[in-house]
Chain A
């Protein structure tokens, strides 16, 4: 078994060129997904059935189907429908980048809303009651009391989701995007050396994962300073 080190050294710079796209996919879908997650959360815990039921169905569908299938439906499937091609969203859905962002956002939004819900449920009832005893409105209670604590509680799960999201960006390579994974597959297709190339790109992904986990670990520590150990 020959291990072509020269090939690895040659490929790594090429793959790092894909890192820009990987990060764009990650950060944009994370930002949009977080916003979507908060919106879904509010709908879900609104107490009104006509708001929470559709939300629950949405979450059920997006957590119950593989993300690869979701990506294919959005990129290859939607254009089959006439009204999509003529609709206002077409400029976004025309571009593979747009489709990837849409798919990743919709998917991660569903997961995040459940994570946020878990955080909100974990806030001590006593605190909420104290808030209402002090005369705070429902909205104020949510923003100033529930939210800060809920955020701290769901940080571990949130950081896990960020890592999952990062791993899902690799699927963008299946819809022609040249992120790190896309470039890796192209190199393999040309050099017929899957082992060396895939191991190198794996190392890069591991470094990114490690960086994400360290960052969140640091955030968690800072947010928990007041908690007695």
Chain B
């Protein structure tokens, strides 16, 4: 009996300490995937790092808000935002019309394109000279895509007959491509280059398509997501983003990882 009592008291203590919130000026909870190097990931020291993280911290600093980062699996990102799990999304989320129906976005802080990655010298002719995909040449090939991305959207609408394999996380795309479970993947070319093609596990692979940047699916770029009706916050963030762009900060963040600016 005594043991149970002590255990219960200990449990309640844990509970109560969990509820204590530090007093803050204004705290914004930021949702991100945390496994999407080099945009938002956790480095070996256990800290969140990446282009998105830098942008988020800079914006937070400029608008005078404390930030609390919340890790969220990508396919639940928008439902989680709508369910008030966090206030803004800084996770390389493209601004698309489909998403604008349910949520709002700040101005862009990065361009948004897609590209297919596959085995070197596979000899596929997947796109014609006008950079349009040739559906027939995709037959029999397995394509790895992450659920709820602009890439899966593009595929669903442009190549409905293709054999698509859906993943929960970005990392899994590369793992399975190397293991031969998929023939190609479609993802962000900057990340593909950095995380994969320039490393040893990407040695036998290359880009097998031109860049795809149809506005309809990829939008005008990547922006900070927030719930609809938060126009004051949106205005403040846009102002901050403009400062970051004009003062060259965005470029400096990009140069940390890429040999070029990405906004």
Question: What residues of chain B lie closer than 8 Å to A120, measured between beta carbons?
Answer: none
Residues of B within 8 A of A94 (CB): 179-181
Q: Does B125 contact A (CB under 8 A)?
A: no
Whether A186 contacts B166 in the complex (CB less than 8 A), given A76-B175, A94-B180, comes out as: yes
Nearest B residue to A173, CB-CB: B168
Interface size band for B: 20 to 34
A192 close to B79 (CB less than 8 A): yes
Identify which of B75, B82, B165, B179 contacts A185 (C-beta below 8 A).
Answer: B75
Q: Residues of B contacting A178 with CB < 8 Å?
A: 166
- Taking a contact as CB atoms closer than 8 A, the residue among A79, A174, A194 that contacts B79 in the complex is A194
Which residues from chain B contact A76 at a C-beta distance below 8 Å?
Answer: 172, 175
In the assembled complex, the Cα of A182 lies from the Cα of B168 at a distance in Å of: 10
What 1/0 mask marks residues of chain B from 76 to 92 whose CB sits below 8 Å from any chain A CB? 10110011000000000
Q: Which residues of B contact A185 (CB under 8 A)?
A: 75, 147
Docked-complex contact B82 and A189, CB < 8 angstroms? no
Beta-carbon nearest neighbor of B98 in chain A: A190
Is A33 part of the contact surface with B, judged by Cβ < 8 Å?
no
Within 8 A of A (CB), among B73-115: 75-76, 78-79, 82-83, 102
Q: Chain B contacts of A79 at CB under 8 A?
A: 175, 178-179
Complex-state Cα separation, A34 to B175, whole angstroms: 32
> 1/0 per position for B180-191, CB-CB distance to A under 8 A?
110000000000
B262 located at the interface, meaning its Cβ lies under 8 Å from any Cβ of chain A in the complex = no
Q: How many A-B residue pairs have CB under 8 A?
A: 43
Q: Which of B82, B102, B181 contacts A96 (CB 8 A)?
A: B181
Give per-residue flags for A185-197: 1 if the beta carbon is below 8 A from chain B beta carbons, else 0. 1101110111000
Cβ of B148 under 8 Å from chain A:
yes
- 1/0 contact trace for A80-93 toward B, CB 8 Å? 00000100000000
Question: Which of B75, B175, B178 is within 8 Å of A189, CB to CB?
Answer: B75
Q: Which residue of A lies closest to B172 (CB)?
A: A76
In the complex, B167 has a CB within 8 A of chain A? yes
Question: In the bound complex, how far is the Cα of B175 from the Cα of A94, in angstroms?
Answer: 12
Q: Assuming the A-B contacts A85-B179, A94-B179, A94-B181, are A192 and B147 also in contact, with contact meaning beta carbons closer than 8 angstroms in the complex? A: no
Interface residue? A224 (CB, 8 A): no
Report B's interface with A, CB cutoff 8 A.
75-76, 78-79, 82-83, 102, 147-148, 165-168, 172, 175-176, 178-181
Chain A residues in the interface with B (C-beta under 8 A): 76, 79, 85, 94-96, 174, 176, 178, 182, 185-186, 188-190, 192-194
Could you list 12 A-B pairs, sorted by A, with CB under 8 Å? A85-B179, A94-B180, A96-B165, A176-B176, A178-B166, A186-B147, A186-B166, A188-B75, A189-B75, A190-B148, A194-B76, A194-B79
Closest 5 CB pairs of A and B: A189-B148, A79-B179, A189-B75, A189-B147, A194-B79
Q: A186-B147, A189-B75 are in contact. List 11 more A-B contacts (CB 8 A).
A: A76-B172, A85-B180, A94-B179, A94-B180, A174-B168, A176-B166, A176-B167, A178-B166, A182-B166, A192-B102, A194-B83
